[in-house]
Amino acid sequence: MHDVIGGGAETEAQRFLSTPLDRLLQPGESGNGLQEALALFRAVAHDVPAYRTLLSEQGVDPASVVTAADFARLPLLDKKNYTRRFSLDDLVLGGKLTRCDFFAVSSGSTGEPTFWPRAQADEFPVAVRFEQVLRDAFRAHEKRTLAVVCFALGTWVGGMFTSACMRHLSAKGYPVVTATPGNKIDEILRVVQRLSPQFEQTVLLGYPPFLKEVVDAGRAQGLDWSPFKVKLVMAGEVFSETWRDLVAERLGGGDPLRFSASIYGTADAGVLGQETPVSIAIRRFLADRPEAAQAMFGDARLPTLCQYDPTARYFESLDGSLAFSGWNGVPLVRYHIADRGGVLPYDAMLAKMRDLGCDPVGAVRETGGPEPRRQPFVWVFGRTDFTVSFFGANVFPETISLGLEQPEIRSRVTGKFVMQVKEGLMDDKPRLTVAVELAAGAAGDDAFGEAVAMAILAQLRRLNSEFANYVPAEFHKPLVTIYPTGHPEYFPVGVKHRYSRR
């Protein structure tokens, strides 16, 4: 995609603004991004002091790296051995921090927040990812579109970066106008009620559980969402297809392949990939077939499944975890992000799906829209930091979420919960406990708590073979406690929610 690796803001802006999406997404010479990754490596090895030091320490001669095998032998980077070891000046091109003009901050969900310098030039390759979603899935180049940024604003990466990308789309000629209420529900609803009637569609951009809160809060106030033709762009968390259907229903329905799209993004590198109608069709097929999902992904749980541009982000799968290379304010070569996941070329994925009796491209063509793009696939599971271990079985938040999304439960809960293994509650044995947040105005009694526990148990037994086989039967049913909305201990308002405690 980039004929000039790490070009300046003016160069990247001109390329983005003047080049149609179809040309921006043409594959590189090799078709898999290797040539672009090698060019990135040469530029970083020459111009980034920290990387030069690391290569020298490990005895790597940059001139010797010319093939895919050579590239795969380069050292893996991570926060400990690279970004936290060196000064910010040494991590950027030319050893000069002021080549960048902005800081983004990681969420700090697994430790101390990390500051990532950015330059405006870094925004345009990420804007292409948003462009692909808004054009291919939402047809935003043809429809007056209100984009409502519901990510937190401030130093955190989501809100400011997303807002910039939306404005770049407008500058390119898309009839998109952006509002930035941030993560303030009252302000979001005020924006939607005042502005959405003047647009053909409204796109809400934010974290999945928070967007559901927005939708439910509007419904509680008597807001009818359906006239606004709402679409969702989401990031940060894995969700189920049941969840997607539930939120679509509450917004008034819509084509499940084009109603929403999740993006795979990080503070380290912006947006790495995005859901497409094809990837959603695959995921929906596998949602009710855990055995097929196990064969495809090595896990019965559903990951986020995206497509990506290998000329912009070069992915490698390393024993079930992901590494990527790409240009950023801090350019990264073989950065081991340690997300669990994998990659698969486009044709290989379609071949596997045909063997399972699924034709995702045919499903997309039946619903209209542009021809699917032949981009490779990347999948990523929820972070293992959020699992808990119970009798040696890993319990994943996604499975608990499915229990709360069952028809008999979902109208009375927000979808937020906190799972934890506690000792000494009964017979000095560990117990799996789940604190569940009630929806605003909903009531919960012991009978409802029992219903929630049984719904969660059914999903644990269906999807988690470790749980079914490792955990003694008498400890299968979780201990569920129901809490009111915004309970300060488990569900404080205004902070990023954590679904597990240890």
Domain limits, the chain: 388-501
Alpha carbons 271 and 467: distance in angstroms, whole number:
34
Helices then strands, each counted (H, E), the chain: 18, 19
What pLDDT, on a 0 to 100 scale, did the predictor assign at position 427? 63
> Residue type for 375, please?
Q
Q: Which of 40-54, 75-89, 104-118, 295-309 has the lowest mean pLDDT?
A: 104-118
pTM of the model: 0.85
* Residue 77: pLDDT over 60: yes
* Residue 12 reports pLDDT greater than 50: yes
Q: Which fold has domain 388-501?
A: GMP Synthetase; Chain A, domain 3 (3.30.300)
Query: Are 146 and 195 spatial neighbours (Cβ–Cβ below 8 Å)?
Result: yes
Q: Where residue 383 falls among pLDDT bands split at 50, 70, 90?
A: low
Rg (CA), the chain: 23
User: Residue 148, Cα to own-chain centre: how many angstroms?
Assistant: 18
Percent of the chain with pLDDT over 90: 65
Going by C-beta distance under 8 Å and a sequence separation of 6 or more, which residues neighbour residue 267? 104, 105, 106, 107, 114, 116, 157
Of 255, 213, 209, residue with least CA distance to 230: 255
Question: Is residue 369 within 8 Å of 277, Cβ to Cβ?
Answer: yes
Greatest Cα pair distance, the chain, in angstroms, is 69
According to DSSP, residue 156 is labeled: B
Model confidence band, residue 4 (pLDDT cutoffs 50, 70, 90): very low
Q: What is the mean pLDDT of residues 457-482?
A: 89
Q: Which of 85-94, 144-153, 386-395 has the lowest mean pLDDT?
A: 386-395
- Residue 434 CA to residue 428 CA, distance in Å, equals 18
pLDDT in tens, 176-196: 999 999 989 999 999 999 999
Asked if 219 and 250 count as a contact pair (C-beta separation under 8 A), the reply is yes
pLDDT in tens, 412-423: 999 999 999 987
What would the two tokens of residue 413 be?
A: 């809960």
Q: Is 433 in contact with 422 (CB distance < 8 Å)?
A: yes
CB 404 within 8 A of CB 455: yes
pLDDT of residue 49: 97
Q: How far is C-alpha 27 from the chain's CA centre?
A: 23
Average pLDDT for the chain: 90
Name residue, tokens 């579109």: 145
- Note the pLDDT tens digit of each residue in 290-337: 899 999 998 888 899 999 999 999 999 998 899 999 999 999 999 998
pLDDT value, residue 332: 96
Using the predicted structure, report yes or no on whether residue 29 has a pLDDT greater than 50: no
Is residue 175 within 8 A of residue 144, CB to CB? The reply is: yes
> Is the pLDDT reported for residue 443 higher than 80?
yes
Report residue 474 as tokens. 């008498």
